[in-house]
Amino acid sequence: MRDEESGTVRVLLIEDDREAAAYMARGLAEGGHVLAHAADGEEGLEMARAGGFDVLVVDRMLPGLDGLSLVRTLRAEGDATPVLFLSALGQVDDRVRGLRAGGDDYLVKPYAFAELLARIEALVRRRRPEQGTTRLVVGDLEMDLLAHRVTRAGVEIDLQPREFRLLQCLMRHAGQVVTRTMLLETVWDYHFDPQTNVIDVHISRLRAKIDRGFEVALLHTVRGAGYCLRAPD
């Protein structure tokens, strides 16, 4: 369904706030993505059933059918389209409930648009088969998941366990923006925002290990969004 050539993502947003939906449509269009909008749960379920979307962005609290029930219904019908929950309910337990209902990710309002975009892209990309992958490669950077070894241009790089997981997360999402929050969630399992930008220091250390002394940098900072590890064009 997804147009692999253009990279266009088709998003179904099920959200009763029309204005927020309009903003999101414009933001996604900037990135070359397409958004369809359903303003209540029942309409959303119908549209989702019709198919053709790469990702569903579902508000938890909807008129008609609530978000959790909607996703549960879809999952029960065998629909595996990735789901990103949007919610004003930000407690850890709410998050767990969302994921248990079949959601793939959970974003608390208010969120930065860059965060939403990064997560949507990560979700769509996640559909690619990953099981059985034992080696990640980005340019001349290689990671052997079994031997816990990282090399760049054949030279072994010594990484701390946490740095290894940080790099692994970035490599899995190579070419995509990974936000600080996503890194905190994946690498540290922290679902809150440490006030200080602790992640930045970790990234700069990692960058020193994988990029220093090489002509081409692989790890880039995306201003106002996060980081991106990508192979040179």
Partner 1 sequence: MRPIRTALRTTAFRLALLYAGLFGASVLALLLFLYFASAGLIARQADETIEAEITGLAEHYRRRGLGGLVQVVIERAQRLPTSVYLLADPLRRPLAGNLDSWPEVGTGPEGWLEFSFEAATAEGRMTHRARARHLVLTGGFNLLVGRDIEELRLTVARITEALLWALALTAALALGGGLVMSRNALRRIEAINRTSREIMAGDLSRRVPLSGSGDELDELAANLNAMLAQIERLMTGLRQVTDNIAHDLRTPLSRMRARLEVALMQPAAAATYRQEIERTIAEAEALIATFNALLAIAEAEAGAEREAMERVDLAALVRDAADLYAPLAEEAGLAFSVRIAGEGELAVRGHRHLLSQALANLIDNAVKYTPRGGAVAVVAARGAAGIEVVVADTGPGIPEAERERVLGRFVRLEASRSTPGSGLGLSLAAAVAARHGARLRLEDNRPGLRAVLLFPPAPPAKALEGTPG
Comparing CB distances to partner 1, the nearer of 172 and 180 is 180
Q: From residue 132 to residue 171, what is the string marking binding to partner 1 with x (rule CB under 8 A)?
A: ------------------------------x---------
* Per CB under 8 A, 208 contacts partner 1: no
Contact, 169 vs 187, CB < 8 A? yes
Instruction: Find the shortest distance in angstroms from Cβ 50 to partner 1.
Output: 35
Instruction: Find the shortest distance in angstroms from Cβ 164 to partner 1.
Output: 13
Task: Tell me 223's DSSP state.
Answer: T
Comparing CB distances to partner 1, the nearer of 94 and 142 is 94
Choices 5-13, 21-29, 174-182, 201-209 (CB under 8 A): range interacting with partner 1: 201-209
Alpha helices in 82-179 (DSSP H): 92-100, 113-125, 161-172
User: Using CA atoms, how far apart are residues 197 and 199, in angstroms rounded to an integer?
Assistant: 5
* Per CB under 8 A, 175 contacts partner 1: no
Q: From residue 17 to residue 56, what is the string marking binding to partner 1 with x (rule CB under 8 A)?
A: ----------------------------------------
Structure tokens of 204?
Answer: 């700069």
Amino acid letter for position 160: Q
Q: How many CA atoms lie within 13 A of 62 on its CB side?
A: 28
Work out the angle at residue 122's Cα, subtended by the Cα atoms of residues 17 and 99, and round it to the nearest 5 degrees.
65
Comparing CB distances to partner 1, the nearer of 198 and 222 is 198
Instruction: Find the shortest distance in angstroms from Cβ 103 to partner 1.
Output: 17
Q: From residue 97 to residue 116, what is the string marking binding to partner 1 with x (rule CB under 8 A)?
A: -------------x-x----
Instruction: Round to the nearest angstrom and report the end-to-end CA distance of the chain.
Output: 26
User: Using CA atoms, how far apart are residues 135 and 150, in angstroms rounded to an integer?
Assistant: 10
Question: Judged by CB under 8 A, how many residues of this single chain contact partner 1?
Answer: 21
- 55-59: strand order across its sheet: 34-38, 10-14, 55-59, 83-87, 105-108
Catalog residues that contact partner 1 under the rule CB under 8 A. Answer: 90-93, 96, 110, 112, 162, 188-196, 198, 201-202, 205
